[in-house]
Chain A
């Protein structure tokens, strides 16, 4: 199939960017979206031009590196799919595809489609962990966890940190990301001692990074390649309220 691509190009963090148009011919429908971009980059490199910078690593939907805004949807229009698992058979001959970086004030563009998502790391660093020193753990079966709770914690823990929730949110909020971690650790017995400090600190950091708020639109949960449910945000709100009643502050 032949395609027209409109791609955001930007040399560096501080430079202004613009859209460039590229024509691609004879794209195989079995290619992944990123392989289609590889083809474009091979052509550009062959001409001695700078290829389009984009992030990718595992290419099997788990590392969370890739993340492009494809025709206005993070990771493209297919539900529960990362960009690397989106295949060209989802597009048609003659399609016009607009590819933009994930946009948020907290995600500055570093080059072309590469954005800096380290704000998400800092949210985890603020409290997204259980403080257990290596070697100090009790026997793993000492604390039974009801299967249902463990499964719900797992659902929240599947977050790959790609930032699609932020990219899709009209307020550029990181609520689904933060709520997923708060829920994952807050549901497990091991996570209880720090539960209310954790939520207070993580929310504080999330605000400090200037992410937006939640309007409960639900865009994030549809955009999330792992389908993390919106309930994690509600869980976070509840925990934060309880934390206030318990007198915890960041």
Chain B
């Protein structure tokens, strides 16, 4: 089957494209809006914002989340801030500059028109959130404050202490609550979407499991919106919440939606390292720590972790200055400890691979504040980083004022996702994909403070008119959950769940998830090689086979069964992981979060840096499902850069 991938972005001047496009869109008559039912899955920034806005417009919204409340979605954990081209600081920011920074930061692998629209709507988000009562940080004059963030030379990040994601999500949740009370949104918490129902080529419904009763339920609508987040938990250990999963997008993929650029994953350089194999998740420490902390490892392997004894050599405070390697300052004298996320992460991996890593398993580097304490005093450091230091101390039991922190990179965000056009609709008509779940705006690397921006832009401002346009063109359709398509999908879901329960094997779900995660981290993590990826592509089907033969899922399919929920998610990760490795293998270049060791600059000033191949890989790789274990079909959407000319990034 050939699928023609058309972005549908308007031609002509990019600066007026979105307004021209909005004007060209059809509008549903207010009286007709209530005839449409729209299914929205997910209640994070994108999902809650979209559900609330659609309901305000007059549509009937059916909204689902697997958590006990709409307020728990993982958007809540974002710390740093949200970018917007407000130029309140008068430091030369503009929509065009935010657009430019985002395309460049994404290593020229994003669609220019989408990015421009994102930058354009960013200003409305700040207005909207402020009007909702989001308590952004303010200056003494009562106006909004900004901070600067990686990858930008201007100060355009709005923030609410270290809890910006929480405050923005609560804002969206409140807008959502208002519409639940008004009857515009029917909320289904503790309902997990397990499949999409496609009828006559259109996405028309979902099958969801009521996580309290265990009952499978059918829901029909005129459109289905997935705002279900990223797939970082394929690595088991990530900064994602425990419940984050790929099931919704993967099931949509199996029903025909193309999965784009799954190999683009972002690694955050400063996370608290693993402390043992019981570890369930990783905790991110804000990037801002690198402003004053110095990163180092011992020069001598004797002071590093020794795999033979399982111990680390001398205590970091006993290692004299001359025996420390401040490797970021050494290798990147211009940017020092402030190099971008991907570079800092890879450098940490390299020194640990050399056998100079510290911490419990040799996967850690020191982030030292002793200079900062000397310079600013303990109180000065506390004023800047007090809450982070407290969090670190709580988790590790160590005092970062008196001994260096230990840090290691961790999976943090996934840029890939379901392919969508300029209207955020996948190639399956009626199936819209928002936020981290789609692939659209960040290219191969996301800049800090841009995830919140994209989720809210999609949810509040982009998706609602686009969905309206789709519905206006399609006119109200008959709706029934008695269609054979519903029965067929429900039967498949039921079969899958009862198989999981009937295996009664010897291994727990988590043991499979951990095995997969470790493999993915080794072979498809910070640095990838052809050899490693091929190895992973052999191992993943083996793990999957064993899973389906030997997994132990206690309990039944009625009532609360958290083991069954986990098992169904891990089963999908075991299929998805293969696609991710295949995508990484086929993308024979290094760009953004995707670093192939074979493709790095060999010589000159940029030696060791990522080597993009714009001639052969300036495209979106969108994969079509053909069956489990079958090679998927690759479809390419060529990317053109008419406004921001591709160049190389160097931080030496």
- Does a CB–CB distance below 8 Å link A and B in the complex? yes
Q: Are B460 and A30 in contact (CB under 8 A)?
A: no
Question: A62 and B128 in contact (CB under 8 A), knowing A46-B508, A144-B142?
Answer: no
Asked if A111 is at the interface (CB within 8 A of a chain B CB), the reply is: yes
| Interface segment out of the listed A33-41, A167-175, A213-221, A232-240 | A33-41
Known: A48-B504, A110-B212, A118-B189. A57 touches B242 (CB 8 A): yes
A55:B135 contact, CB within 8 angstroms: no
Set of chain B residues within 8 Å of A31, measured between Cβ atoms:
276, 278
Tally A residues with Cβ within 8 Å of B: 79
Is B135 touching A150 in the complex (CB atoms < 8 A)?
A: yes
Are the C-beta atoms of B560 and A140 separated by less than 8 Å? Answer: no
- Once the chains bind, are A157 and B131 in contact (CB under 8 Å)? no
Q: Which residues of B contact A58 (CB under 8 A)?
A: 72, 74, 76-77, 241-242
A50 to B508, alpha carbons, bound, how many Å? 12
Say yes or no for A184: interface residue by CB 8 A criterion. Answer: yes
- Interface-located stretch among B171-179, B291-299, B477-485, B604-612: B171-179
B190, chain A: closest CB distance, angstroms: 9
Which residues of chain B from 531 to 577 have a CB within 8 Å of any chain A CB?
Answer: 552, 554-555, 559-563
Cα–Cα distance between A61 and B187 once the two chains are bound (Å): 25
A143 to B280, CA, bound (A): 44
Report the separation of the CA atoms of residues A85 and B181 in the bound assembly, to the nearest whole angstrom: 34
Is A153 part of the contact surface with B, judged by Cβ < 8 Å? yes
Tell me the minimal C-beta distance from A59 to chain B in angstroms.
5
Give the tally of cross-chain contacts (CB within 8 A). 224
Q: Is B288 an interface residue (CB 8 A)?
A: no
Residue on B nearest A145 in the bound complex, by CB? B142
10 A-B pairs with least C-beta separation: A144-B142, A137-B131, A129-B174, A154-B135, A140-B130, A111-B560, A137-B127, A125-B181, A57-B241, A134-B53
| Residues on A with beta carbons closer than 8 Å to the beta carbon of B628 | none
**A110 near B128 (CB under 8 angstroms)?**
no
In the assembled complex, which residues on chain B have CB atoms less than 8 Å from the CB atom of A53?
560, 562
User: Chain B 187-198, CB within 8 Å of chain A: the 1/0 string?
Assistant: 101000000000
Q: Which of B56, B67, B77, B132 has the most CB of A within 10 A?
A: B132
Q: How far is the CB of A28 from chain B (nearest CB, A)?
A: 5
B132's contact among A89, A135, A190, by CB below 8 Å, is which? Answer: A190
Expressed in whole angstroms, the minimum distance between the Cβ of B436 and any Cβ of chain A is 15
Q: In chain B, residues 108-146, which have Cβ atoms closer than 8 Å to a Cβ of chain A? A: 124, 126-133, 135-144
Contact with B along A108-144 (1 / 0, CB 8 A): 0011001011101100111011111111111111011
Q: How far is the CB of A14 from chain B (nearest CB, A)?
A: 11
Q: Which residue of B lies closest to A134 (CB)?
A: B53
Sample of 17 further A-B pairs with CB below 8 A, known A56-B242, A57-B72, A60-B239? A30-B397, A32-B280, A46-B507, A50-B561, A51-B554, A58-B242, A59-B241, A60-B284, A63-B67, A63-B72, A63-B241, A121-B69, A128-B174, A132-B175, A137-B130, A144-B138, A161-B69
Cross-chain contact A138 with B131 (CB below 8 angstroms): yes
User: Which residues does B use to contact A, with CB under 8 Å?
Assistant: 49, 52-53, 56, 67-72, 74, 76-77, 86, 88, 124, 126-133, 135-144, 160-161, 163, 165-167, 170, 173-175, 177-178, 180-181, 187, 189, 212, 239, 241-243, 275-276, 278-281, 283-284, 391, 394-397, 460-461, 464, 504, 506-511, 552, 554-555, 559-563
Provide the bound-state CA to CA distance between A114 and B68, in Å.
10
Residues 38-97 of A at the B interface (beta carbon under 8 Å)? 38-39, 42, 44-46, 48-51, 53, 55-65, 81, 85, 87, 89
Is the C-beta of A23 less than 8 angstroms from some C-beta in chain B?
A: no
Please give the distance in Å from B560's CB to the nearest CB on chain A: 4
When distances are taken between beta carbons in the complex, the residues of chain A under 8 Å from B281 are: 59-60
A6 at the interface (CB under 8 A from B): no
Query: Are A64 and B71 touching (Cβ within 8 A)?
Result: yes
Contacts of A140 in B (CB 8 A): 86, 126-127, 129-131, 136, 144
Contact across chains for B138 and A147 when beta carbons are under 8 A apart: yes
B133→A188 contact, CB < 8 A: yes
Task: Return the chain A residue nearest B211 by Cβ.
Answer: A110
Are B131 and A65 touching (Cβ within 8 A)? Answer: no
17 contacts between A and B (CB under 8 A): A42-B511, A55-B68, A58-B241, A59-B241, A65-B68, A111-B560, A129-B177, A130-B132, A132-B131, A133-B56, A137-B124, A144-B143, A150-B138, A154-B160, A157-B133, A185-B133, A190-B133
Q: Is the CB–CB distance between A118 and B138 below 8 Å?
A: no
Query: What's the Cα separation between A49 and B554 when bound, in Å?
Result: 6
Report yes or no: B242 in contact with A59, Cβ–Cβ below 8 A: yes
Q: Within 8 Å of chain B (Cβ to Cβ): is A11?
A: yes
Pick the contact of B68: A29, A49, A81, A116 (CB < 8 A). A116
**CB <8 Å contact, A141 and B278:** no
Asked if A247 is at the interface of the complex by the 8 Å CB criterion, the answer is no
A191 at the interface (CB under 8 A from B): yes
A133 to B460 Cα, complex, angstroms: 10
Q: How far is the CB of B458 from chain A (nearest CB, A)?
A: 12
A45 touches B552 (CB 8 A): yes
Residue of A nearest to B72 (CB): A63
The contact of B127 among A55, A118, A139, by CB within 8 Å, is: A139
